[in-house]
Chain A
Amino acid sequence: MTSKRGIALVLVLALVAVFVPVLLYLSQTGSSQVRQAMKFHEVQQSESVALSGTHSGLCRLRGNLTGLQQLTNLLLGDITYDLTIKPTGQGVVLQNLYHLFSRCALGRHSYILMSDAEQLQPDPDPPVMVLSHDTWNTVEPYDINLAADVTAMENLRGQDLLGFEATKNYERSKTPAQYESDLLAKQGSLPDELKSDWSSIVGVLKEEKLQF
């Protein structure tokens, strides 16, 4: 009788010892996928808010606001973002030139958009004409109100723009036929989904080629 109770007890303990960790692991696995979904949600939200932040900065410039603007904890719905509009100088037709930074951080994800902006002299009232160029992004957790971080971003973006400049120089240096054949030669290294449409895409790219 005692031995039967002992066996039953060992059996119960063994079941508990095996299934409790399994159940715990199952619950953690479920929450891992939820965490992943939440993370993607945060990434999308932060990128959308940073983009909206850039537009709000451009709207400020269109309203003829000038000079350095460092705005923190601005709200888009219930999500906060930072906006820094840093004057860099003047253009040849006396337009004001800026670097525009927009940052949104959600959870562990930080997203920063940086772009050039030109603000023309109002003629005579706002809204003034504003152009933005060369928008660049980073997921590094920089502080857009810190001069050292801003300089680091300007340097890294400049490095990327130098690569872009080399691409544009290449594009300009080729004739449309050479450009087309160069692009078609890359077809073999493309994913299968793109291969079938590549020739028509190259046709469009050839039409869009810089030609001066």
Chain B
Amino acid sequence: MIRSVSKASILAVICVLSWSLPAALAEVSDTASNRPKEVSANTLSSVAAEGFNINDKAAVPSGVNIRSSLELEIAIQEYLMTFDAYREARQSTAPEARAKLPKLLKAYREAYAKAIKMMRDDKLIHPMIPQNPLKVYKEEYKAKHGEYPPLDKRDYKELRKAIKNAIKEGKSTDEILIMIRNRVANLSRPAPAPTPIPLPGGAGGSSGDNAGTDDGDKDSRLVPKTFPQPDQSSSGIDNEHSGWRR
């Protein structure tokens, strides 16, 4: 009797163990963290080799390239425009607008990647350093030219208004980029000659340049817009390698 009870108990214990062990092991493995807590020596050496100082992240890195601020601004305005177009389409309830979402997202992704690459190539930013590209640009500009670049916050506000107006008026991406170029070029700042922007079909250079008429309060979302389309031949700053062309 006692022997039979003991055998039954041992069998029961074995069954229980085999049933519960996977759950217990799963819990242990789920809590384990495999993420490294320290930056690798290779990464630190590559950061130093690029001229950045990981221990003094506010320092201006060595070897910064000062290109025309016009090129940087156009690249940034381009991804801002594409983001605006993507956001508008995402918020739209019209099926035809939502159908454009993948292309608009691709256009934004490429425009952003292009601008980031430009700043990264110029050493204005680094993934491990909190971004402050304007300060780096200004400091390096002063080191080379003896004075800070003449940047004015008002210029950019007016530029944003002009872009908003141009979109409202249904201007194409190329026309808006040309307008941006003309406005930025008229900011009377010393800048190296920018990459020429080809005129699409002989379009005029100053189209959409009417910032003064925008009251800013009118909601342009209520007006039908022509957003920059990814399948348009566009870009302006790098037409040969445009990410929008297929």
Residues of A within 8 A of B238 (CB): 212
| Nearest chain A residue, comparing its CB with the CB of B130 | A88
Interface residues of A in 11-50 (CB under 8 A from B): 11, 14-15, 18-19, 22, 25-26, 29, 32-33, 35-36, 39
Residues of A within 8 A of B120 (CB): 165
Stretch at the interface among B92-100, B111-119, B168-176, B195-203: B111-119
Give the contact-size bracket for chain A. 35 or more
A94 touches B156 (CB 8 A): yes
In the complex, per-residue mask of B202-230: 1 if CB is within 8 Å of any chain A CB, else 0: 00000000000000110000000000000
| Nearest chain B residue, comparing its CB with the CB of A35 | B27
A92 touches B127 (CB 8 A): no
Could you give 19 example pairs across A and B, Cβ below 8 Å? Answer: A14-B5, A18-B6, A25-B13, A25-B16, A29-B16, A36-B26, A36-B30, A39-B27, A92-B73, A92-B76, A92-B124, A97-B131, A123-B216, A124-B157, A158-B128, A165-B127, A210-B113, A211-B245, A212-B238
| Nearest chain B residue, comparing its CB with the CB of A29 | B20
B12 touches A22 (CB 8 A): yes
Residues of B within 8 A of A121 (CB): 153, 156-157, 160
Residues of B within 8 A of A26 (CB): 16
| Nearest chain B residue, comparing its CB with the CB of A17 | B9
A36 touches B241 (CB 8 A): no
Kindly name the residue among A91, A94, A129, A131 whose own CB sees the greatest number of chain B CB atoms within 10 A: A91
In the complex, per-residue mask of B29-42: 1 if CB is within 8 Å of any chain A CB, else 0: 01101011101100
Kindly identify which residue among A11, A86, A92, A125 contacts B1, using a CB–CB cutoff of 8 Å.
A11
Interchain CA distance A139-B23 in the complex, whole Å: 22
In the complex, per-residue mask of B116-159: 1 if CB is within 8 Å of any chain A CB, else 0: 00011000101111111111010000000000000101001101
Smallest CB separation, B89 vs chain A (Å): 15
B130 touches A210 (CB 8 A): no
The answer, yes or no, to whether A4 is at the interface (CB within 8 Å) is no
| Nearest chain A residue, comparing its CB with the CB of B84 | A129
Residues of B within 8 A of A161 (CB): 127-128
Interface residues of A in 109-143 (CB under 8 A from B): 116, 120-121, 123-125, 129, 131, 133, 138-140
Known: A14-B5, A121-B156, A125-B217. A156 touches B36 (CB 8 A): yes
Interchain CA distance A97-B109 in the complex, whole Å: 19
Kindly name the residue among A11, A157, A158 whose own CB sees the greatest number of chain B CB atoms within 10 A: A158
Known: A11-B2, A165-B127. A18 touches B9 (CB 8 A): yes
Smallest CB separation, B228 vs chain A (Å): 15
B80 touches A120 (CB 8 A): yes
Residues of B within 8 A of A158 (CB): 39, 126-129
Interchain CA distance A132-B43 in the complex, whole Å: 25
The answer, yes or no, to whether B242 is at the interface (CB within 8 Å) is yes
Residues of B within 8 A of A203 (CB): none
B23 touches A33 (CB 8 A): yes
B157 touches A97 (CB 8 A): no
Kindly name the residue among A19, A35, A156, A212 whose own CB sees the greatest number of chain B CB atoms within 10 A: A212
A140 touches B37 (CB 8 A): yes
The answer, yes or no, to whether A52 is at the interface (CB within 8 Å) is no
A159 touches B131 (CB 8 A): no
